[in-house]
Amino acid sequence: MSLEFKPAWLFVPGDRPDRYTKAAERSDIVILDLEDAVNEADKVAARESIVDFPLDPTRTVVRVNSHDSGHLGEDLKMLARTEYTAVMLPKAELASDVSILSGFQVIALIETALGAVNVAEIAAAPNVYALMWGSEDLIADLGGGSSRKADGGYREVAKHVRSQTLLAARAHRKFALDSIWADIPNLEGLAAEAEDAVQSGFSGKVSIHPNHVPVVRDAFRPSDEQLTWARSMLDLAKTEKGAFSFEGKMIDAPLLKHAELIVARAN
């Protein structure tokens, strides 16, 4: 069964099956994490938990371990025992990294310098479903100390990779996921970043805490005023030819596309 895209994604450690159901209830899509959230000694138990406590495969992604971790083979054997068809591949660096996951919908995680350089090639891979970028792993790979400045904003190199990931995904008609917000209690900062993600063109945003999910949902959900404007404009467009005037503004193809996207976010 294929993954059905929705905007609010939530990580849950693969070795914490006690959290699976609650995560599924509180988010649009759950990411069962076998990589960073699970210690080396607990990866076997995490795989068994994923098999023993199944979730809806249309709303679940499994983040496997990276291609050079020594764990990916066992992760794939485990997935063969489940109905899951969507996987997140960390540290994707080449299109060939994705090709070994034939038969899966792949969310390629761009979080290294090489992955950032090759992001368009990765996005073009046929089985890539979406791209996500990872800020802190990226900075660690570059040899830096933090992806953010003292004011909370991203450093220039992080903003560059964020933009490149979005551009590559959209150029190849793939979904684009924004990185996590790590400052868990700062919901105001999260709301501002999620709003920027929406207006920039990201399809969704990934969270590491359940309290972040409603904030992300609010950002991606159009207001009643936006929805009324978009639907009214699209209804009028059915009877007009070429550009036309609506509420004092000249409406052309880009604005119609914007209206279509607003309506799509409401569904």
- The answer as to whether 1 is a domain residue is no
Residue 237's pLDDT is: 78
Q: pLDDT tens for residues 103-158? A: 999 999 999 999 999 999 999 999 999 999 999 999 999 999 999 999 989 999 99
pLDDT at 78 over 80: yes
186, pLDDT greater than 90: yes
Residue 258 maps to a domain: yes
Give the residue numbers of the binding site: 63, 111, 137
Q: What is the mean pLDDT of the chain?
A: 92
Band (43; pLDDT cuts 50, 70, 90): very high
**211 and 229 fall within a common domain:** no
Annotated binding site for Mg(2+): 111, 137
Looking at residue 211, its pLDDT comes to: 97
169 and 59 in one domain?
yes
Same structural domain, 160 and 180 = yes
Residue-wise pLDDT for 45-57, tens only, equals 999 999 999 999 9
pTM to 2 decimal places: 0.87
Domain assignment present for 153: yes
pLDDT value for 104? 97
Residues of the domain holding 155 = 8-220
**pLDDT computed for residue 163 by the predictor:** 98
What are phi and psi for residue 73, nearest 5 degrees?
Answer: -60, -45
Say whether both 257 and 141 belong to one domain: no
What's the chain's Rg over C-alpha atoms?
19
Tell me which residue has tokens 């809806």: 56
Q: Does one domain contain both 228 and 209?
A: no
Nearest residue to 107 via CA among 117, 118, 125, 116: 125
Neighbours of 202 (CB within 10 A): 26
* Same domain (yes/no): 61, 141: yes
Domain for residue 183, yes or no? yes
The answer to whether residues 133 and 198 belong to one domain is yes
Indicate whether 42 and 76 sit together in one domain: yes
**CATH number of the domain enclosing 125:** 3.20.20.60
Is 245 within a domain?
A: yes
Q: 67 and 118 share a domain?
A: yes
Which DSSP string do the residues of 43-80 spell out, in sequence order?
HHHHHHHHHHS---GGGEEEE---TTSS-HHHHHHHHT
In a domain, 254, yes or no: yes
- 216 and 229 share a domain? no
- Residue 35 C-alpha from the chain's centroid: 16
Contact 256, 230 (CB under 8 A): no
For 152-170, how does the pLDDT look when each residue is reduced to its tens digit (9 = 90+)? 899 999 999 999 999 999 9
- Residue 3 falls inside a structural domain: no
In a domain, 233, yes or no: yes
Q: What is the pLDDT of residues 201-246, one digit of tens each?
A: 999 999 999 999 999 999 998 766 777 776 777 777 788 877 778 8
Helix (H) or strand (E) holding 225: helix 224-237
CA distance 246 to 243: 10
Residue 108 and residue 155 in one domain? yes
262 has a pLDDT exceeding 80? no
Annotated binding residues for substrate, written as ranges, equal 63, 111
The helix, strand and coil proportions of the chain, stated in percent and rounded to the nearest 5, come to 45, 20, 35
What token pair was written down for 3?
Answer: 């993954």
Give the number of domains in the chain: 2
Predicted pLDDT at 258: 62
> Is the domain of 168 the same as that of 228?
no
